[in-house]
Amino acid sequence: MAIIGIDLGTTNSLACIYRGGRVERIPNELGEYKTSSAVSVLGDGTVLVGAAAKERLVSHPEATAASFKIWMGTEKALTLGGRVFKPEELSALVLRQLLEDARRYLGEAVEEAVISVPAYFNDDQRCATKLAAQLAGLNVKRLINEPSAAALYHRYSTQTGDCQLMIVDFGGGTLDVSIVECFENIIEITAIAGDNHLGGDDIDRAIAAHFCQENGLTEERLDPTLRASLYRQAETAKIALSSAPAASIFLQQGEKRYSLVLTSGLLRQLCAPVFQKVRKVITRAMKDRERGGRIHDVILVGGSAQLPVFGDFLEELFGRRPHVAAAPDEIVALGVGLCAGIKERAEDLQDLVMTDVCPFSLGVSTCSYVGDKTPHMAVLIPRSSMLPASHQERFVTLQDNQQGLRFEIYQGEGYFASENLKLGEVVVRVPPGPAGEQSALVTFTYDIDGILHVSAKSSGGDYRDRLILNPKLRLTDEGKARAMERIRQIQLAAQGTQRNQLLLERGLRLYEQTTGRLRNLTGQLVGYWKWVMSQGGLIEQQRNYERVKEQMDWLEAQAEADPLEEDFWYDEGEDKAFFEGLEGEEEDEL
């Protein structure tokens, strides 16, 4: 049975498979490799995943969610169309859609996968990712760090000589920086640093905030649709700057029209605080390496790495412009696909070896004296240890006849335990005896997936062994079965309907965004397309699809156009021409 590789991204997700001696990208129903990590609940309870769902962020913000990966491993609940979802459940729905697409493409069901996670994901976030896969009915063969996957594919596809690389993965919601040593067939990750809350979304947010400030608007007071439209336009304008000197953003609220012209200079200024944080992460990765040595190349991956202003910033930092990877937003998925091939023991990949490190220090809280109110963290596995890592340490009682030893398990770099993330705890009983005589041996094992296992054995023989999971986030077997059933019950949009649905959702979003004449035209087009869709005749739908899409593209271009540049003088012929070729048929059939 096939194992696929999945890049479950904040913004976009992608699946790949290794077969016939190469990594293949798996297209979705729209024929695209990237599937938006967006989920929307329709009126009838059906769930849309992907581009059509992303459109609904504007038209149906209360029923739609995106970027929920940033909530993975937390107790955050999101309400979509009146139903409450946990972040891992939304991720499970994205996974289900990817599996569905893979099944259609490969002609067989897929039940096993390698999934990538940001290197900087902590234990809770990794466990939540594994849980999401389980909820989608998927067996996870391995979690792999995203930049490591990118490094693996980069090495495999470029076959450069032995070298030291820095991989900077700058996506929608996360930044990961890793340093990689490539020697013959061995790829060794030597340091990892990152920020789980830094990415293109922050840039969009900065643009939106600036827009509001310039126009005297209060962002929190904008209605959700207008706000979603502003964010969407902020992202579009940001991306447009990759190929144009300036881009405009417009917002219409009642009679009032607000606007902003975004230039590269302004974008650079707005990005400054974000880039400052990027700089810190890069510095930390450089310092964390065991061995020094020069960097041969800096490889940029992730959607946001394509920003020219990001390249400018790094060029200033490094004195040389880094390379943007050949397929910056696919390379992680390609690497995960390769990793799936290695897992399947593909003949031609057998001598490829990759080692990884842990991004965080792990330890237990310890009191130095009786009554110590601010316990510190005794580190058992320091960050940047090579995976899998294992370490044991003995802890003794502080009081006479102490009944047990309780170990709180933490992850992080702070001296005081309370500054770090608590992962769980283990308690062992000890026999009575004078202080310092009874003890427990604590063993930490950090596995290849970056998930921690802890055991403690007391001098009295009491033994506790557990996979560490935040108790607040832990599901009982029963709870898990219930959650799986709940996800299984949800209907995803029927196969073959995605393209049409996307066109409809696009129209609905445009309708929300426009006013006046454009809105009128959009409304009529949506009405027409809805009618075509309801007719069920596949050939009829197919025949109309291209034409309606063309009209929609035209409307979109008009909605984005600068009103002073292109759309100033009224042209009588235009509206008429717009419906030529569509109207006749509708009347015929009605």
Q: Which does 450 bind (CB under 5 to 8 A by kind): ligand ADP, Mg ion, none?
A: none
Residue 21 φ/ψ region, left for φ over 0, alpha for ψ in the -120 to 50 degree band, beta for the rest: left
- Amino acid occupying residue 55: E
Nearest to 392 by CA among 437, 445, 428: 445
State yes or no: residue 412 binds ligand ADP (CB under 6 A): no
Taking CB under 6 A as the criterion, the residue among 4, 5, 6, 9 binding ligand ADP is 9
Residues 6+ apart with CB under 8 A from 346: 18, 21
Taking CB under 6 A as the criterion, the residue among 87, 302, 335, 424 binding ligand ADP is 302
Which residue of this chain has its Cβ atom nearest to Mg ion in the complex? 171
2 in Cβ contact with 110 (< 8 Å): yes
| For ligand ADP, the closer CB: 149 or 417 | 149
| For Mg ion, the closer CB: 242 or 542 | 242
Taking CB under 5 A as the criterion, the residue among 5, 9, 359, 412 binding Mg ion is 9
Q: Which does 329 bind (CB under 5 to 8 A by kind): Mg ion, ligand ADP, none?
A: ligand ADP
Q: What is the DSSP string of 24-67?
A: EEPP-TTS-S-EE-EEEE-TTS-EEESHHHHHHHHH-GGGEEE-
Query: Checking DSSP bridges between strand 112-117 and strand 3-8, what pairing results, if any?
Result: parallel
| For Mg ion, the closer CB: 9 or 412 | 9
State yes or no: residue 306 binds ligand ADP (CB under 6 A): yes
Helix (H) or strand (E) holding 315: helix 308-318
SS3 131: helix
Q: To the nearest whole angstrom, how small is the minimum distance from the Cβ of residue 325 to Mg ion?
A: 12
Taking CB under 6 A as the criterion, the residue among 3, 4, 11, 449 binding ligand ADP is 11
Q: To the nearest whole angstrom, how small is the minimum distance from the Cβ of residue 418 to ligand ADP?
A: 31
Question: Around Cβ 341, how many Cβ atoms within 10 Å?
Answer: 26
Q: Which does 322 bind (CB under 5 to 8 A by kind): ligand ADP, Mg ion, none?
A: none
Restricted to residues 212-251, the positions that interact with ligand ADP (CB under 6 A) are: 235, 238-239, 242
Q: Which does 196 bind (CB under 5 to 8 A by kind): ligand ADP, Mg ion, none?
A: none
Q: Which does 129 bind (CB under 5 to 8 A by kind): Mg ion, ligand ADP, none?
A: none
What the block records as the tokens of 298 is 């800096």
| For Mg ion, the closer CB: 9 or 322 | 9
Taking CB under 6 A as the criterion, the residue among 10, 164, 178, 411 binding ligand ADP is 10
Question: Around Cβ 242, how many Cβ atoms within 10 Å?
Answer: 12
Q: Cβ-count burial of 27 within 10 angstroms (0-12 exposed, 13-18 middle, 19+ buried)?
A: middle
| For Mg ion, the closer CB: 163 or 326 | 326
| For Mg ion, the closer CB: 9 or 363 | 9
Restricted to residues 171-200, the positions that interact with ligand ADP (CB under 6 A) are: 171-174, 199-200
Residues 6+ apart with CB under 8 A from 251: 211, 215, 217, 226, 229, 230, 233, 257, 258, 259
**Is the link from the previous residue into 388 a cis peptide, with omega within 30 of 0?**
yes
| For ligand ADP, the closer CB: 6 or 381 | 6
Q: To the nearest whole angstrom, how small is the minimum distance from the Cβ of residue 191 to ligand ADP?
A: 21
Restricted to residues 149-208, the positions that interact with Mg ion (CB under 5 A) are: 171
From 128-136, 302-310, 358-366, 476-484, give the range in contact with ligand ADP by CB under 6 A.
302-310
Nearest to 337 by CA among 566, 107, 56, 23: 23
Alpha helices in 219-307 (DSSP H): 224-240, 264-288
State yes or no: residue 330 binds ligand ADP (CB under 6 A): no
Q: Cβ-count burial of 540 within 10 angstroms (0-12 exposed, 13-18 middle, 19+ buried)?
A: middle
| For Mg ion, the closer CB: 335 or 363 | 335
> Does the CA dihedral 121-127-128-130 come out positive or negative?
positive
Residues 6+ apart with CB under 8 A from 246: 261, 262, 263, 264
| For ligand ADP, the closer CB: 199 or 507 | 199
124 in Cβ contact with 473 (< 8 Å): yes
Q: To the nearest whole angstrom, how small is the minimum distance from the Cβ of residue 330 to Mg ion?
A: 10
| For Mg ion, the closer CB: 61 or 118 | 118
Q: By the criterion CB under 6 A, which residues form the site for ligand ADP?
A: 9-12, 171-174, 199-201, 235, 238-239, 242, 302-304, 306-307, 329
What residue ranges bind Mg ion (CB under 5 A)? 9, 171
